[in-house]
Amino acid sequence: MKGSTHRRCYCRDPETGRPLGKNCPQLTSRKHGSYSIRQELPPREDGTRRSFNRAGYDTLKAAQADLDHVRALLGLADTDDPEGIHLIAEMLSDVSRDKLPLPDVEETRRRLNAGQDLVGSLTVSEWLDRWLAGKRIRKSGISRYETDVRVHLKPHLGTRRLDRLRVSHLSEMFTAITDANADILEQNAQRRAAVEELATVPWKGAENRARRKAMKTAIDAMPGFRRITGPSTRQHIKATLRAALNDAIGQQIITFNPAAHVEIDPVRKPKALVWTDERVARWQQTGERPSPVMVWTPEQTGAFLDFVAADRLYAMWHLIAFRGLRRGEACGQPWSETNLDRHTLTVSGQLVQDGWNVESSEPKTDSGFRVVALDDDTTSVLERHRKQQKTDRAEWGSAWVETGLLFTQEDGSWLHPGKVTDLFERLVAASGLPPIRLHDLRHGAATLMLAAGIDIKIVSDTLGHSDTRITRDIYQSVLPHVGKNAAEATAKLVPLQRKTDAEKASRKEEKARKQARRAKKAQARGRKKTKRKQPGK
C-alpha cells in the first residue's frame, strides 16, 4: 500500500492568512518546517478509505523510521488472514487518531497470535467491570466482590493499565489503606471525645446552651464514625484482585499476576475458648470476653436448652447445638430432605442474606451437600416440632404460607437469618449464661463430638467441611476435662526416677500412718482393758 514522507511548514500568507504549505520560500532550508508521514491502511468494512498520518518529525530519518515501523506492523497479518488485517488496521487507525506511541512489533505479534487486544490500553477499572459482569456466582458473593472493587480497587488502581500493573502498585495501595486506618481511628477518637465532653455540659443556662450549640456544630463538621479496613478485609481485597487477574491471564490478556506476590499482614484467626468458671467470673467482673469465639461447656449448653425448652424455635436451637448446622442451613432445611424414620437429614440448600434481603441458595461448596445423622433425642424433638407445626398450619388456615421448611415464622413464611441471630442473642442474655454467638453453637457441636471421641473424618463430614484440617484448626476447642485426661495419659507414658522416688516416699508415709493408727488403736484397747480390771468396776 502507498506510503510517503513529506516536509511542510505552517507559515501563512500575511495578506490572505492562508497556509503557504509547499509554496513557502523558506522550505529550501532543511531547518525550516517539519516532516510528516502518511500510510494507506486497508479499507474499512464498508469500503471507505483510511490512513495513518503523523506529523512533527524534525528529520527525514525519524519520519522514515516511523513509516517503516507502520509498514512492519501491517506486515504482521498474513494476506489470507482478513481478520488479522482488519485488527491491525483498526489498531493503527486508533493509534493515529489518539496520537499514541507506535506499539512494539514483537509485542503486537504476540498479542495477535494470542488473540489479545492489540493496544494494551485496557485499564484495571475496565477489566474489573468486565470480570464482574462475567461472574456466575450467587448474588451475595458478587456483592462482596463489588464492594472490594468499588471501595478499594478502583480508587487506588483503576486508572492504571492492566498490562503494566506491578507488585509495587499493590503495595502502595495497602500502605495507603493502612494510613487511612490510622486517620480513621484518630478521627473516631476525636469525635468520641467531643461527644463525651458534650454530655458533661449542663442544659440549663444561656452560657451552657451557647456552648452546647457551638460544640454540636463542631461535632457535625467532623467526619462520622467509620470502620477501619481490618486484616480480614485486606486479605479479601487481595483475593478479589488475584481472582480477577487470574482470569485475565486465562484469557491471555496479561502474563503476570502481581496480586499473587504482594505481601500483606496475615490474618490471625481468633482462638475458640471454652467458658470455664474462671473466665465466667472474669467476664462477670469486667464484661470482657476472652475471645471473639467462645464455646459453652456441655453443662452450659444443657442449661441453655433447658431455659429455651418452651421457645417456638427450640428444635432449631437443639439441632444446631447437637448437629452443628449453619444458621442459613437450619433456616432453609426442607421437610422433604428430612427423614425422621431413618434418623437423617440431607443438607441441600440454605437461606442467605443479600444486604437485608433473603434468598434461597445452594450450599456454598460441594462438601456443603451432606447427609447428617440424627440421634434419638434430636429425632424426638423434631417429631414434636412437626406436630406443633401442623397445629399452627390448621390455626392459620388459608393465611398459612406453605414453604415446606422445618423452621418458619408463625405463618409458615421464611425465617430471616438476621432476625434469628437477634433472637438467639436475646435468649442468651435472658438466660444469664456467658455470651456466645449463634455460630458458636456450631463450634460447640464440633467440640462435643471431638470430646466424645468421634473420628475427625465423621465430624468433618457432619459439619460440611472439605478438609479435616479445617475441623482441627477452627473447631477443635478442647474442653477442660478432655485436656486434663489427655495430660494424665501422656504423663503416665514417661518413667521418671523422681516420680518413682516420690511414689516410694509416699508409700512409706502411708505405711507409717497406718502403723501409727494401729498403734493408737492398740493403746486405746489397752486402756479399756485396764479399766475393766480395776476393783469396784
Query: Does residue 398 fall inside a structural domain?
Result: yes
Which domain, by its residues, includes 411? Answer: 273-487
Alpha carbons 471 and 460: distance in angstroms, whole number:
6
* Helices 438-451 and 314-323: angle between axes, nearest 10 degrees: 40
DSSP line for 173-241: HHHHHHHHHHHHHHHHHHHHHHHHHHHHS-S-SHHHHHHHHHHHHHHHHSPPP-----HHHHHHHHHHH
Claim to verify: residue 277 and residue 410 sit in the same structural domain: yes
Domain boundary among 66, 90, 114: 114
Claim to verify: residue 81 and residue 151 sit in the same structural domain: no
Claim to verify: residue 314 and residue 460 sit in the same structural domain: yes
Q: How many domains are contained in the chain?
A: 4
Domain boundary among 260, 287, 319: 260
CB 87 within 8 A of CB 118: yes
**From the CA atom positions of the chain, what is the Rg in Å?**
40
Query: Does residue 492 fall inside a structural domain?
Result: no
Claim to verify: residue 335 and residue 246 sit in the same structural domain: no
Claim to verify: residue 131 and residue 106 sit in the same structural domain: no
Question: For 59-123, what is the HEC assignment?
Answer: CHHHHHHHHHHHHHHHCCCCCCCHHHHHHHHHHHHHHHHHCCCCCCHHHHHHHHHHCCCCCCCCE
CATH number at residue 240: 1.10.150.130
CB 368 within 8 A of CB 464: yes
Query: Does residue 494 fall inside a structural domain?
Result: no
Query: Does residue 267 fall inside a structural domain?
Result: no
Alpha carbons 470 and 324: distance in angstroms, whole number:
14
Claim to verify: residue 229 and residue 277 sit in the same structural domain: no
Query: Tens digits of per-residue pLDDT, 9-42?
Result: 778 878 887 877 677 777 777 777 788 999 999 9
Amino acid sitting at position 127:
W
Alpha carbons 359 and 417: distance in angstroms, whole number:
10
Claim to verify: residue 316 and residue 391 sit in the same structural domain: yes
Alpha carbons 471 and 450: distance in angstroms, whole number:
10
Phi-psi map region of 154: left, alpha, beta (phi>0 left; psi -120 to 50 alpha): alpha
Taking only the tens of pLDDT, the chain with its 537 residues reads 678 888 877 788 788 878 776 777 777 777 777 889 999 999 988 889 999 999 989 888 999 999 999 999 999 988 888 888 898 998 899 889 988 889 889 888 887 887 767 766 689 999 999 999 888 766 667 888 999 999 999 999 999 989 889 999 999 999 999 999 999 998 999 999 999 999 999 998 899 999 999 999 999 999 898 989 988 899 999 999 999 999 998 887 888 999 999 998 887 777 788 999 999 999 999 999 998 889 999 999 999 999 999 999 999 999 999 999 999 999 999 999 999 999 999 999 999 887 778 888 888 778 889 999 999 999 999 999 999 999 999 999 999 999 999 999 999 999 999 999 999 999 999 999 999 999 999 888 888 888 888 888 888 888 888 777 777 766 555 556 665 666 666 667 676 666 566 667 777 888 888 888 888 877 877 776 666 666 554
Claim to verify: residue 171 and residue 221 sit in the same structural domain: yes
Q: Which pairing describes strands 34-41 and 50-57: parallel, antiparallel, or unpaired?
A: antiparallel
Claim to verify: residue 328 and residue 465 sit in the same structural domain: yes
Alpha carbons 63 and 7: distance in angstroms, whole number:
10
Query: Does residue 500 fall inside a structural domain?
Result: no
Query: Does residue 216 fall inside a structural domain?
Result: yes
Query: Tens digits of per-residue pLDDT, 432-467?
Result: 999 999 999 988 888 888 888 888 888 888 888 877
CATH number at residue 388: 1.10.443.10
Query: Does residue 497 fall inside a structural domain?
Result: no
Tell me the torsion sign for CA atoms 150, 156, 161, 167.
negative
Claim to verify: residue 304 and residue 248 sit in the same structural domain: no
Query: Does residue 373 fall inside a structural domain?
Result: yes
Q: Hey, is 136 helix, strand or coil?
A: coil
Claim to verify: residue 320 and residue 243 sit in the same structural domain: no
Claim to verify: residue 300 and residue 402 sit in the same structural domain: yes
Domain boundary among 64, 91, 114: 114
